Amino acid sequence: MLAQLSPAIRQYLIVTGNYWAFTLTDGALRMLVVLHFHQLGYSALQVAMLFLFYEFFGIVTNLLGGWLGARWGLNRTMNIGLATQLVALAMLLVPASMLTVVWVMCAQALSGIAKDLNKMSAKSTIKLLVPDSQQNQLYQWVAVLTGSKNTLKGVGFFLGGLLLTVIGFQGAVLAMLLMLSLVFLLSLLLLNNETGKAQFKPKFKDMLSKSRAINVLSLARFLLFGARDVWFVVALPVFLSSQLNWSHWQVGSFLAVWVIGYGLVQSIAPRFTKTAAVEPNRQAFRWAALLTLTPLLLALALWQSWPIAASVITGLGLFGLLFAVNSSLHSYLIVSYARADGVSLDVGFYYMANATGRLLGTVLSGWIYQQWGLLACLLCSALLLMGSSAAISLLPARPR
């Protein structure tokens, strides 16, 4: 079956497999860190700080990674990302007494670098496989890649909660380290190092985008993911654990189901936005405006003291559905608008904005929740979504 495929598609399938394997460990590790250190007595803000370097170095990595991918090839940056994640996991195998806040932050910094090298490599590669005239096919391929990744991240959340319950923190980290080591060895043997090299030698200054469309998309992405993480990353798991008295197993399973469903919706998003390739700016604005309403509705439910568990589950489901369509549409747009030669430069800049939004959301999630609670996090999310909607409305028409 694989032998009948073109060499480019075979390479892309290997890249996607690497991305999936990495995503499992990334999702599991995030859930492990949140639940384990909250159990040790860390406050919501302290837990958020553990991810500070993870998000900050994602900003740096996307800029440098896009530049390196254009110069060295995307598959080399993919392998560097896998190796970096192995080092991050190994750092967490030290005795419990050495797992200080600074040490875990450094391990998370390496994990953030690894994640964004993998994401940038996988998303950039797909641009090289689909002719520019086949925008609907490009949208479908991007949607499947993005959705399947997030589905596996949800499985990783579930896996993290399960492994923490069954074999403990260090046992879970060791199991993931062994699995990813095998993937890394196969990647070294099978990947072609020439994919994605730019025909020109990009200079360091080329990392910063000069395209209005890319800048508009990057601003909208920054605000979109800040709006999600301001209540989802730290505030929600801690709220479920401390206010609703859910166990680690319950929290991990619930968030896993949410992310899996979110990924499935991303995969079929083109069915909801069939005209995205024709009028992307209008479609993106409409879906962004709908998403803005969901945190406001959930905030209203909490303010009116409606049944808390039912309100959170329903509100999170609606938010996940609409956010999945928005995220899938944005992911298609950046690949569509990016230049073909040196694609990783535009994609890297865009995901730099994504990482910056996640950093903002993560810090605000811990700080606002600790000071004012989940309701305030939801109101902040709505404000950020309003900004994202306004930004995406400025997206210029795609050149034909």
pLDDT digits (tens, 9 = 90+) for 278-302: 677 788 888 999 999 999 999 999 8
Most confident among 81-90, 106-115, 151-160 (mean pLDDT)? 81-90
Ranking 54-68, 97-111, 195-209, 328-342 by mean pLDDT, the lowest is 195-209
* pLDDT of 293: 94
Q: Which domains does the chain have, with CATH numbers?
A: 7-392 (1.20.1250.20)
**Mean pLDDT across 66-91:** 81
pLDDT in tens, 317-370: 999 999 999 998 898 888 888 776 667 678 878 888 888 898 889 889 888 998
**Mean pLDDT across 209-214:** 76
Residue 400 confidence (pLDDT) above 60: no
**Mean pLDDT across 140-159:** 79
Nearest alpha-carbon partner for 164 in 322, 27, 258: 27
Measured CA to CA, the distance from residue 326 to residue 320 in angstroms comes to 10
* pLDDT of 227: 95
* pLDDT of 295: 94
Residue 222 confidence (pLDDT) above 90: yes
Output the six-digit token pair for 30: 């995030």
203: Cβ–Cβ under 8 A, 6 or more apart, which residues?
Answer: none
Residue 3 confidence (pLDDT) above 60: no
Measured CA to CA, the distance from residue 89 to residue 110 in angstroms comes to 9
Distance of CA 82 to the CA centre of its chain: 16
Measured CA to CA, the distance from residue 1 to residue 196 in angstroms comes to 25
Share above pLDDT 70 across residues of the chain, in percent, rounded to a whole number: 84
> pTM value?
0.78
* pLDDT of 87: 93
Residue 30 confidence (pLDDT) above 60: yes
Output the six-digit token pair for 299: 């905030």
* pLDDT of 219: 93
Q: Confidence band (pLDDT; 50, 70, 90) for 96? A: confident
Q: Confidence band (pLDDT; 50, 70, 90) for 5? A: low
Measured CA to CA, the distance from residue 8 to residue 211 in angstroms comes to 28
**Mean pLDDT across 65-73:** 69
Helix residue ranges per DSSP H, 73-134: 74-91, 101-127
**Mean pLDDT across 21-25:** 84
* pLDDT of 165: 79
Place of tokens 């798991």: 237
Please check whether residue 168 is in contact with residue 160, taking contact to mean a CB–CB distance below 8 angstroms: no
Average pLDDT of the chain to the nearest whole number: 81
Please check whether residue 175 is in contact with residue 25, taking contact to mean a CB–CB distance below 8 angstroms: no
Measured CA to CA, the distance from residue 391 to residue 400 in angstroms comes to 22
Measured CA to CA, the distance from residue 331 to residue 41 in angstroms comes to 38
Select the more confidently predicted residue: 261 or 31: 261
Phi, psi (deg, nearest 5) at residue 337 = -80, -20
Phi, psi (deg, nearest 5) at residue 342 = 80, 35
* pLDDT of 230: 92
Q: Confidence band (pLDDT; 50, 70, 90) for 194? A: low
pLDDT in tens, 229-273: 998 888 888 888 888 888 777 887 788 788 888 888 888 888 887
Measured CA to CA, the distance from residue 234 to residue 16 in angstroms comes to 28
Most confident among 20-29, 130-139, 190-199 (mean pLDDT)? 20-29
**Mean pLDDT across 6-30:** 77
Select the more confidently predicted residue: 28 or 47: 28
Measured CA to CA, the distance from residue 297 to residue 276 in angstroms comes to 27
Distances (CA, A) of 293 to 102, 378, 387: 38, 11, 13
Measured CA to CA, the distance from residue 365 to residue 234 in angstroms comes to 6
